[in-house]
């Protein structure tokens, strides 16, 4: 009877996604399966898992159980099956505070984030995860991805850039990131800033003024004023003759690529068109 029940179709009427928490033992797993209607007899499931020597190989995670799956099939799914995966997309140009808030609001991730990462230390993109992964693990992956990408792009950078370190490249990339939301424009915008640095001109970038006021912890929620442009902060590139002391956002690959391989141009100015792009650029003979 026990073997027949182990091999027989299960009671599940339709496909169902179930979650096996991390640290669950055989008894707990069998009870979850019974409560979810996947199996009828937890004890037979436990005996079958031990008999097949797979009791210690059952995985935690989120699994899709097909309708009428036998206990034998369920064990195979928990041993060899792929867990259901999720993805989270972090937009380019977000500050570290904003990224932490995105992760905290995701219901499929777990755990607290104790410390906000340094600005510019994360690589925004789409990350895959399984239910129950920690929020901190996503941050750790973002930091590793940024470090690897920055190292690679810095090593293959264009010769003669007025940037002494990869950290300076990251700072400039964050300014380019915030100046334009159009990836195709970034090499040209980067080229303008490179020209200004070569001529020891101030960068005069509005996003740096905003960051000097908020430090990335909140939105400014108003337009910049003339007073803002004239008020000195360590980030205000209207008042300082250098790059800011650190990034003003977390940058995507296209901004990093634009700064390490900027367009060769004689332009020194660009004009925003109010839509995230730029209507034109101006060449000025120094």
Strand 16-20 to 267-272 pairing: unpaired
At 146, list the tokens.
């940024």
pLDDT score at 132:
85
Ordered by start, the domain boundaries in the chain are 2-80, 86-146, 161-283
Nearest to 258, CA basis, from 167, 177, 203, 139: 177
Give 271's contacts (C-beta < 8 A, 6+ positions apart). Answer: 278, 279, 280, 281, 282
At 34, list the tokens.
């019974």
List Cα–Cα distances, 279 to 149, 156, 180, 192, in angstroms: 31, 31, 11, 14
Tokens 């100046």 correspond to: 179
Are residues 198 and 267 in contact, defined by beta-carbon separation less than 8 angstroms? no
Separation CA 169–CA 79 (nearest Å): 46
At 285, list the tokens.
């003979």
The tens-digit pLDDT sequence of the chain (286 residues) is 678 999 999 999 999 999 999 899 999 999 999 999 999 999 999 999 999 999 999 999 999 999 999 999 999 999 997 889 999 999 999 999 999 999 999 999 999 999 999 999 999 999 999 988 999 999 999 999 999 999 999 999 999 999 999 999 999 999 999 999 999 999 999 999 999 999 999 999 999 999 999 999 999 999 999 999 999 999 999 999 999 999 999 999 999 999 999 999 999 998 765 555 544 455 444 4
pLDDT score at 280:
47
Q: What angle do CA 244, 248, 254 make, to 5 degrees?
A: 110
pLDDT score at 190:
97
Q: What b-and-e string marks burial along 146-167, b requiring 16 or more CB atoms within 10 Å of the CB? A: beebbeebbeebeeebebeebe
Nearest to 260, CA basis, from 180, 160, 183, 179: 160
Separation CA 179–CA 185 (nearest Å): 10
pLDDT score at 284:
45
Superfamily of domain 2-80: Endolytic murein transglycosylase (3.30.1490.480)
Separation CA 65–CA 76 (nearest Å): 11
Nearest to 249, CA basis, from 203, 204, 198, 214: 214
């Amino acid at each position: 009877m026990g073997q027949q029940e182990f091999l027989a179709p299960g009671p599940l009427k339709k496909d169902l996604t179930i979650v096996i928490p991390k640290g669950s033992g055989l008894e707990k797993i069998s009870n979850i399966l019974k409560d979810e209607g996947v199996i009828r007899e937890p004890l037979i499931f436990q005996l079958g898992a031990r008999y097949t020597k797979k009791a210690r190989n059952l995985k935690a995670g989120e699994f899709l159980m097909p309708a009428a799956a036998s206990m034998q099939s369920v064990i195979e799914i928990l041993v060899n099956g792929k867990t259901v995966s999720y993805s989270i997309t972090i937009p380019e140009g977000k500050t570290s505070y904003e990224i932490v808030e995105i992760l905290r609001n995701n219901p499929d991730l777990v755990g607290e984030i104790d410390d906000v990462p340094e600005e510019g230390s994360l690589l925004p993109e789409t990350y895959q995860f399984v239910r129950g992964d920690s929020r901190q693990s996503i941050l750790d992956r973002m930091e590793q991805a940024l470090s690897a990408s920055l190292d690679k792009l810095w090593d293959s950078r264009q010769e003669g850039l007025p940037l002494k370190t990869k950290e300076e490249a990251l700072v400039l990339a964050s300014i380019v990131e915030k100046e334009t939301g159009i990836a195709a424009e970034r090499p040209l915008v980067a080229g303008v800033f490179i020209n200004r640095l070569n001529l020891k001109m101030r960068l005069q970038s509005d996003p740096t003024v905003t960051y000097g006021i908020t430090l990335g912890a909140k939105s400014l929620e108003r337009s910049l004023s003339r007073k803002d442009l004239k008020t000195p902060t360590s980030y205000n590139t209207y008042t300082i003759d250098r790059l800011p002391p650190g990034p003003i956002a977390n940058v995507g690959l296209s901004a990093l690529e634009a700064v390490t391989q900027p367009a060769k141009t004689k332009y020194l100015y660009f004009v925003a068109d109010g839509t995230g792009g730029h209507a034109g650029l101006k060449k000025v003979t120094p």
